[in-house]
A and B are shown apart, each in its own frame.
Chain A
Amino acid sequence: MRTLSRLFIAALFPVFILMNRQCEEPADGKPAPVAGKGVFICNEGNFMFGNSSLSFYRPDSLKVYNQVFFNANIFPPGDVLQSMTLLDSMAYLVINNSGKILVMNAGTFRHVATISGLGSPRFIEIVDQHKAYVSNLHARSITIIDPLSFEITGTIDVGGTTEQMVRHGEALFATGWSMNNQVYKIDAGTDTVIDSLTVALQPNSIVADRNGVLWVLSDGAYQGAPCGWEWPALSKIDPESFSVMEKFTFPEKNLSPIRLSVNGTGDTIYFISHGWTNASGSGSGVYRMSVDAVRLPEEPFIRAEGRLFYGLGVDPECSDIYVSDAMDYLQPGLVYRYSASGNPLDTFGVDIAPGSFCFRNHSDRTAGT
């Protein structure tokens, strides 16, 4: 009987050892910075995985803090952290596939409130202290929220899906990206659509330059898309007459340009092209273009050289360029920081699918891209 017992225990020993190993890994315990200039990086994560995260980078100390939201709150942002916008000390994290906006103290990263009950939110554009617009991937309307009371206060029937927005005077301009080809002009005072303008298919991003001229980048959709497939184009739009001043059509149909950005002085625009089609090709990279240029640039300003450029941001104060490498979208990505003249300044690791940047400047007056 004793032999039997020994045999029995010996046979089960490895199983019990492993069963007792159940544990929960601690979170990364890096102290979070509380003030000063810095850059937030929205790591989208993988769709339906719920593994998005927020990183914070300090260019003065060259330090990066990953998963700052999770570390401060012990719960994750949610499923696809699409974008982030700042209003004074508050940060608004748009969690696309969780249908919510998380409000966070931008200094402590502590969760303040949740604006829930949204459809498929993409970007926020602050109108004033009590009004902000939220674009939507699926709804044909823009949601109006009060950024201080954290409530949904209304909607604007746009007539199509919406993506990025930019403010110019009393008007707000919103692109209609998903299966759309419209740019909408909205009166921010009356919350009504004044006009709409047809551009090339799938306008994904919009900026305003130093002259107040609008630039809209269209990726043209893709082969087999229900909305069709067009040549990608960059449209230069007069905001007053709301008409296309100039249309720069890309030389190939499958370039899929994205992430139109503008520098702090508003005289140069940037975008990523060839990023998915041919990441290792010589034409892949970040392109730079003067707002006074009469043709598209032919060579990339920063070559991808095998990297999968995914996110792009330009510091509104110093015009440093931040471009992310999503690697294979399954592992944490990298961010490359360049000077305005294109000199590499730093490289740091962030998290999965770093898609957008939000800059917190010394004055805490900021811009999100």
Chain B
Amino acid sequence: MITPRLKIGFLCFGLLAGGRIMAGDPVPQDSTHHIKAVSITRQRPLVDYGVQKTEPDSLILEESLLCSLSELLARHSTVFIKSYGSGSLATSSFRGTSASHTRVEWNGIPLNDPMLGQADFSLIPVYFLDRVSLYYGSGSMLHASGGLGGSIHLSSVPQWHESFYGEIIQGAGSFDTYRTMTAFGGGSPHLQFRIRAIHDQSENDFRFLNTANGTWEREQQHSARYRLDGILGEAHFRQGNHKVAASLWMQDATRNLPPIMSYEGKGRKEFRADRQMMANIRWNYYGRVILSRFTSGYTQTGLRYFLGEETDEGFHVTSDSESNTRTLHNQYTLEAGIGESTLLRGTLRNSLQRAETADEQTLAGYSAIRSETEAGISIHHRFNEMLTSYLLLKESLAGREFSPFMPSAGVEFLPLGKESLALKLNVGKNTHYPTLNDLHWIPGGNPDLRPEKGLAMDLTAAFSQRLDSSVTIHSAITGFMTRVNDWIIWQPGEFGYWQAGNIREVLSRGFEYNLITRMIFHPLKMDLYGNYSFTWTTDETTETVGEPERGNQLIYIPVHKGSLTVFLSWSRYRFSYGPDFVGERFTTSAGNPTLHSLPGYLLHNVSGALTFRVWKTDGELRLRADNLLNADYQSVLWRPMPGRSFTVLLKLSF
């Protein structure tokens, strides 16, 4: 017996990420459940027209259940993730921009650290996410400014029709890695609660080939242990035209930071401990012609960083710092429909940021408060079945400084009158404010910094094609160009310490390719996901020091990056295989391809899963092998990454 909810679930499963099933298109038959063909019209929100957006679908999220968001993005998006090692700091480069140029939001509140500007994706468990949306280039401006490369939006989705449900997942893997996750929820069609919790720990003591000290021996990684505990509670309420939701996410992580491969000193201890608390409440009102959204959130983070080393007299503490941030965020969005084809949208956001940092050893530190306010208004209009466009005007204020005016616009053209072929053009100006560290860090912070100014443009051609009743292909190719002026970098300055300055002009251009294919050859079902990005990001500063630097690829940004994942499903079995490729990256701005570059690497990952049902409980047993061919590689210079590893997962849900 297939319930309506299940039917909808199967149909949604067929909606490949970014792909669409058009009105009049027959729905492919599932291999195990035969449902009557129906016609579906999927009306995208008008605000989604003209922007480049991708969403890893539920299959990807399910496969990445044990992963952090950094691993998901690295394998299933064109965003490059720079990782210092398993469980360690992982930051993003979106279209060749820096880590702080990726805006990250969770249920409408920013996750970017006000001090550093970046988000640590290794601290975001995929298990806590129901939906991940990536907005590229100026398309991200519709939600928030500051994402010069793009923005990543993480959101929770309630299960309205479940009265009570729960699951427990236990994972165990190589290097003494254990992950336990559990979720319980339920309620009524009007009120839903859910609690998710995670415990993740690893000795992370993998073996690696040390090529940095002349021994050429395989050594065991040490001082790389990490532990993460998190809990996420949510409540969703809906009545009439109102929806109210509240979320509370608390997390605690401690990570040892191993020295680089060439270290042969007396002994060193380095670790960071992160504490995070994020809470938000959202109220949506769906009127006949208006949509009103209010989001209020509060985030509090604490970071202790410690670095010390053994000396003949005992332990010498080089740094022992404590950094705390608090951010109060409020946002209101009002959308008003004017007739069938026009939408007016206004947004007002404010973030009040407070940061305090102090180092007991160096006595360095600062305390700062900043308010960032942003207002934007946009008009979205569908001219006819073929042409839709938007125009967005935005302005922001940080402290007492207004940003440059930020207009952006997008056009989506459907030359065939349906979404089997779509052409999208986006162009816009964007502004990214200096982080609080850029402004106030002692020593080296520069209160006179100007905001970084971006101009982004992209053109996308998206194809959706159903070859026959069992094969659907969706692919999109996007050419992009992003120019950032007054790019902030830290350089050695007065008295030998590093100082922040508006130094660079950076030009990033390239193209991205995404492919999603689904084939059903009864009883076998195959899903294929592929992506590739070519990113050429160069320093175009005219008055740069040293001409050789100009025109070279920026450090730690690969020109080539691609991945492929194939899922094969048959009855209760599922198998996946996915190679990931990251090309060569320079580690200095000179672009010298000898010692100063990291070779590209290709990783092969496989997994197999078996689903079963016992005692009214659904179960899944999964075996996963990462880096199957045991490749030696580094994401950051002289910081080894794990070789072949295995993970076993048991999931029980009711």
A326 to B581, CA, bound (A): 34
Residues of A within 8 A of B262 (CB): 50, 76-79, 95, 98
Residues of B within 8 A of A120 (CB): 265, 309
A294 within 8 A of B: no
* Most chain A CB inside 10 Å of its own CB: which residue of B496, B545, B581: B545
Give the interface size class of chain B: 35 or more
User: Quick check: A332 and B592 within 8 Å, CB to CB?
Assistant: yes
A24 to B595, CA, bound (A): 10
Query: B588 is contacted by which of A11, A21, A330 (Cβ under 8 Å)?
Result: A330
Query: A141 is contacted by which of B211, B311, B515, B637 (Cβ under 8 Å)?
Result: B311
Query: B593 is contacted by which of A7, A14, A25 (Cβ under 8 Å)?
Result: A25
CB distance from A110 to the nearest CB of B (A): 10
Mask: chain B, 549-560; 1 = CB below 8 Å from A; 0 = not: 100000100001
Residues of B within 8 A of A143 (CB): 312
Known: A99-B265, A256-B494. A22 touches B214 (CB 8 A): no
Q: Which of B535-584 contact A (CB under 8 A)?
A: 544-546, 548-549, 555, 560, 562, 564, 579, 581, 583-584
A360 within 8 A of B: no
CB distance from A254 to the nearest CB of B (A): 7
B303 within 8 A of A: no
A262 to B268, CA, bound (A): 36
A18 within 8 A of B: yes
A118 within 8 A of B: yes
Query: A331 is contacted by which of B495, B497, B590, B638 (Cβ under 8 Å)?
Result: B590
Interface stretch among B101-109, B192-200, B597-605, B619-627? B597-605
CB closest chain-A residue, reference B264: A116
Known: A98-B265, A118-B265, A119-B265. A51 touches B588 (CB 8 A): yes
User: Quick check: B494 and A119 within 8 Å, CB to CB?
Assistant: no
A19 within 8 A of B: yes
Residues of A within 8 A of B562 (CB): 14-15, 18-19
A231 within 8 A of B: no
Mask: chain A, 1-38; 1 = CB below 8 Å from B; 0 = not: 00110011001101100110111111110000000000
Interface stretch among B154-162, B320-328, B467-475? B467-475
A344 within 8 A of B: no
B491 within 8 A of A: yes
A50 to B265, CA, bound (A): 14
Query: A99 is contacted by which of B263, B313, B513, B595 (Cβ under 8 Å)?
Result: B263
Residues of A within 8 A of B546 (CB): 327-328, 331
B337 within 8 A of A: no
User: Quick check: A222 and B473 within 8 Å, CB to CB?
Assistant: no
B443 within 8 A of A: yes
A171 within 8 A of B: no
Query: A27 is contacted by which of B443, B581, B595 (Cβ under 8 Å)?
Result: B595
B493 within 8 A of A: yes
* Most chain B CB inside 10 Å of its own CB: which residue of A3, A18, A48, A143: A18
User: Quick check: B309 and A138 within 8 Å, CB to CB?
Assistant: yes
Mask: chain B, 507-538; 1 = CB below 8 Å from A; 0 = not: 00000010101010000000010101000000
User: Quick check: A8 and B517 within 8 Å, CB to CB?
Assistant: yes
User: Quick check: B309 and A99 within 8 Å, CB to CB?
Assistant: yes
User: Quick check: B494 and A22 within 8 Å, CB to CB?
Assistant: no
Residues of A within 8 A of B583 (CB): 18, 21
A111 to B318, CA, bound (A): 30
B289 within 8 A of A: no
Known: A224-B443, A327-B545. A11 touches B515 (CB 8 A): yes
User: Quick check: A226 and B363 within 8 Å, CB to CB?
Assistant: yes
A51 to B266, CA, bound (A): 21
Residues of B within 8 A of A219 (CB): 495
User: Quick check: B595 and A76 within 8 Å, CB to CB?
Assistant: yes
Task: Describe A's contact surface by its main secondary structure.
Answer: loop
B4 within 8 A of A: no
User: Quick check: A119 and B588 within 8 Å, CB to CB?
Assistant: no
B176 within 8 A of A: no
User: Quick check: A11 and B530 within 8 Å, CB to CB?
Assistant: yes
CB closest chain-A residue, reference B495: A222
A100 within 8 A of B: yes
Mask: chain B, 19-39; 1 = CB below 8 Å from A; 0 = not: 000000000000000000000
B442 within 8 A of A: yes
User: Quick check: A75 and B213 within 8 Å, CB to CB?
Assistant: yes
Residues of B within 8 A of A328 (CB): 491-492, 544-546, 549, 589
A105 within 8 A of B: no
User: Quick check: A329 and B492 within 8 Å, CB to CB?
Assistant: yes
A223 to B364, CA, bound (A): 11
User: Quick check: A49 and B587 within 8 Å, CB to CB?
Assistant: yes
A73 within 8 A of B: yes
A222 to B362, CA, bound (A): 12
CB distance from B136 to the nearest CB of A (A): 19
CB closest chain-B residue, reference A156: B312
A175 within 8 A of B: no
Residues of B within 8 A of A24 (CB): 599
User: Quick check: A15 and B564 within 8 Å, CB to CB?
Assistant: yes
B275 within 8 A of A: no
CB closest chain-A residue, reference B475: A11
User: Quick check: A76 and B579 within 8 Å, CB to CB?
Assistant: no
Q: Which of A288-344 contact B (CB under 8 A)?
A: 308, 326-332
B316 within 8 A of A: yes
A155 within 8 A of B: yes
A135 within 8 A of B: no
B43 within 8 A of A: no
A252 to B328, CA, bound (A): 44
Residues of B within 8 A of A28 (CB): 594
Known: A11-B515, A95-B262, A224-B443. A141 touches B581 (CB 8 A): no
Residues of B within 8 A of A136 (CB): 311
CB distance from B30 to the nearest CB of A (A): 20
Residues of A within 8 A of B265 (CB): 98-100, 116-120
A140 within 8 A of B: yes
B310 within 8 A of A: yes
A18 to B475, CA, bound (A): 18
Residues of A within 8 A of B266 (CB): 99, 117-119
CB distance from B463 to the nearest CB of A (A): 10
CB closest chain-A residue, reference B465: A7
User: Quick check: A119 and B471 within 8 Å, CB to CB?
Assistant: no
A337 to B216, CA, bound (A): 38
User: Quick check: B494 and A73 within 8 Å, CB to CB?
Assistant: no
User: Quick check: B491 and A27 within 8 Å, CB to CB?
Assistant: no
Residues of A within 8 A of B443 (CB): 222-224
Q: Which of B248-264 contact A (CB under 8 A)?
A: 260-264
A53 within 8 A of B: yes
Known: A100-B264, A119-B266, A331-B590. A12 touches B560 (CB 8 A): no
CB distance from B361 to the nearest CB of A (A): 8
Residues of A within 8 A of B318 (CB): 138
User: Quick check: A141 and B495 within 8 Å, CB to CB?
Assistant: no
User: Quick check: A19 and B492 within 8 Å, CB to CB?
Assistant: no
User: Quick check: B600 and A78 within 8 Å, CB to CB?
Assistant: no
User: Quick check: B594 and A27 within 8 Å, CB to CB?
Assistant: yes
User: Quick check: B599 and A98 within 8 Å, CB to CB?
Assistant: no
A356 to B243, CA, bound (A): 66
User: Quick check: B530 and A12 within 8 Å, CB to CB?
Assistant: yes
Apart from A141-B313, A223-B495, what are 6 other A-B pairs with CB-CB below 8 Å? A4-B471, A22-B599, A97-B263, A276-B495, A328-B545, A330-B555
- B residues neighboring A (CB under 8 Å): 211-214, 216, 260-266, 268, 309-313, 316, 318, 362-364, 442-443, 467, 471, 473, 475, 491-497, 513, 515, 517, 519, 528, 530, 532, 544-546, 548-549, 555, 560, 562, 564, 579, 581, 583-584, 587-590, 592-597, 599-602, 637-638
A-B contact pairs, 30 of them (CB 8 A): A7-B473, A11-B475, A19-B579, A22-B581, A22-B600, A25-B584, A25-B599, A27-B595, A70-B595, A76-B595, A79-B263, A100-B263, A100-B264, A111-B214, A114-B264, A119-B309, A119-B311, A136-B311, A139-B313, A222-B496, A222-B497, A223-B495, A276-B492, A328-B491, A328-B545, A328-B546, A328-B549, A330-B588, A331-B589, A332-B588
5 nearest A-B residue pairs (beta carbon): A99-B265, A139-B311, A78-B262, A116-B264, A222-B495
